[in-house]
Amino acid sequence: MKAAVDHGADCVYLGFRDATNARNFAGLNFDDAAVAEGVRYAHAKGRKVLVALNTYPQASAWEMWRKAIDRAASLGVDAMIMADPGLMQYAQQTHPQLRLHLSVQGSATNYEAINFYRDHFGVSRAVLPRVLSLAQVEQLMKNTDVEIEVFAFGSLCVMVEGRCALSSYVTGEAPNTHGVCSPAKAVRWLQTPKGLESRLNGVLIDRYADGESASYPTLCKGRFEVDGASYYAIEEPTSLNTLALLPKLMSMGVRAVKIEGRQRSPAYVAQVTRVWREAINACRTDAEKYAVKPAWMNELNKVAEGQQHTLGAYHRSWK
């Protein structure tokens, strides 16, 4: 978190050490003392801290989700990133001063849905799923006054976020409820005569030739046999990178670009944040002369998944 703040992030989002956030991995996330220290550190530098409470509460432990809202409010965070309407209602009624952001897990892909959350729960910002084209984002923004945040760099998800059941299908656990997508306990790597295999709960996800870059196994980014051909039929294991779209995103009025960093090292966070801060400042200074610098791409290539980049659904011809 400090690496993100020190290298130019305006806001940092984080989660508690439990299933209330969609990155509930062992060894990650924040206890209350760390959140308090993070809020103090960020606020001292004029930055903001957002807490992701973006999974859906389960009937057997719903109190944990409500208590997480109370904890975040008492720790002085600047906003909650939420997906569940019931939790939004609780937050609005119990902590009316707390700013609410609609999580990508809420899967709002049209302005009617976003305006619904605004009217009923006072949502002031919405994070769009990574399945919309640039034209669709622009059309949506013309019909809502809710702030819009888009994913800018990191893993690419082409599923209906917040509704994906692929992980649950294979492992019995889903990010929507357990806070994990491809839980580490289900991941296995095996060197075979045919190559390096990655498996998820025993299911073959991918097989790599010698020297081929291997990625963390998720079902949507596995190779499938389709009409006699074996290829990445749903999505390739590559990083979303929208540096080239910054002028358009700014002219459209996008209020924030989201960089994934919660399963990354401090060095990764510092490197990516520094590049994006420099690019955003350059675009703000003169959008007409803005161009992606080779040095920026060289830095991002070092940390991109599979050392590849894509604009994802922003510019894609679907089969």
Tokens coding 170? 């294979």
Domains plus CATH for the chain?
2-162+238-315 (3.20.20.70), 178-231 (no CATH)
Q: Quick check: 318 pLDDT over 60? A: no
Q: Is the dihedral of CA 91, 93, 62, 67 positive or negative?
A: positive
By the 8 A CB rule, do 109 and 42 touch? no
- Tens digit of each residue's pLDDT (9 = 90 or more) over 49-60: 999 999 999 889
- pTM value is 0.88
- CA separation for the pair 207, 250 (Å, rounded): 40
Give the residue with greater pLDDT, 210 vs 16.
16
Q: Quick check: 319 pLDDT over 50? A: no
- CA separation for the pair 303, 282 (Å, rounded): 22
